[in-house]
Amino acid sequence: MAAVGEKLPQGRYGRSADERADRRLRIVGAVLGTAMLGLVGWFGYDYVAGTRISAEVIKFDVTEGADEVQVHLEVRKDEQATGSCTLRALAKDGGEVGRLDVRIDRQGGNRIDEVVTIRTTRQATAAELMGCTAA
């Protein structure tokens, strides 16, 4: 006699191993998808509503013959935010001749004007703001 492929009667012995594995995969996928959606939402909220500090160099004054640059910095921040801004002085050839980290720790105001002095290793021709970070 030829062997005939015998199948179990439908619905008589519960789900097959493939159906159970498919169900587990769907459950794991749904849980991981929900967790990933939650993480994306959390990072998005933090990016939009997080503490921010931004600044702008209003003007700079290179003192002739002295190795320093005075920089007028305007900082905009949240009321309770603290952090630091990094400034650098540049020479005529574009090389960095001085760097200064300015602490922003005054509470209460959201706009701060500050004049700082960057000491340089040689004569500078420009000053620029590298960036600000919140603490």
The 10s digit of each residue's pLDDT in 15-55 is 666 777 788 899 999 999 999 999 999 988 887 776 678 89
**Is-above-0.95 flag for pTM?**
no
For the stretch 58-76, pLDDT in tens is: 999 998 888 899 999 999 9
Tokens of 91: 């020479």
Predicted confidence (pLDDT) per residue in 111-123, tens digit? 889 999 999 999 9
pLDDT at residue number 45: 85
**Are 84 and 101 contacting, i.e. CB atoms less than 8 angstroms apart?**
yes
pLDDT at 19: 76
